[in-house]
Amino acid sequence: MSSKTDVRLRPGQRLSRGLRYTAVGPVDVTRGTVGLSWQGMQSAATGIRQRVEKSRLAKELVQELEEAQESIAQELAEARAALANLPQTLADARKPKRRRPHPLLLAGAAVAVIAVGGVTFSIIRRSMQPDPSPRPPSVEPPQRP
C-alpha cells in the first residue's frame, strides 16, 4: 500500500481553492485587526476604570485623614484644657471630702457606751447571785463586832 501525498486537483477545484485562500487572507487580516483593536479598547477601558477607582479611593482616604486630623485636634484641645485645669483638680482632690464628727457627738457616744456597759454588767452580776430564799436561815449568821 502506498499513500500519495500529492493529490491531483482538478482545475475547478484548484481555482476554487485559490480564490478561497485569496479571499480568506484579507478577511483574516481584517478580523485580526478588529480583534486587536477590541482588545486594546478593553485594556484602555480597564486602565481608565482602575485609575478612576484609585482616585475615588484616594479621595476617600484623604477625607478619612482629614476627619482623623480633626478628631486628634479636638482631643488635643481637650487634653490642653485638662492640663490647664490640673492644679485646680489636684487641689480639689486633696480637700477632705468628709467632715469629722463633732467632739460633743463623740463624747455623747462614749457616755452612752459606758452606760450600756454598766447596765449590762449589773444585770449579769445580779443573775450570777443566787436568789434569797423566802424561808429564814437555819443557822444564824455570825454578827460582826
pLDDT digits (tens, 9 = 90+) for 94-131: 776 666 667 888 888 999 999 999 888 888 887 777 76
Cell of 136: 429564814
Q: Indicate whether 49 pLDDT > 60.
A: yes
Q: Mean pLDDT over residues 12-23, rounded?
A: 77
pLDDT computed for residue 51 by the predictor = 92
Q: Is 7 exposed, middle or buried (0-12, 13-18, 19+ CB in 10 A)?
A: exposed
pLDDT computed for residue 5 by the predictor = 67
Q: Indicate whether 88 pLDDT > 80.
A: yes
Phi, psi (degrees; rounded to nearest 5) at 112: -65, -40
Mean pLDDT of the chain: 82
Helix (H) or strand (E) segment spanning residue 65:
helix 11-84
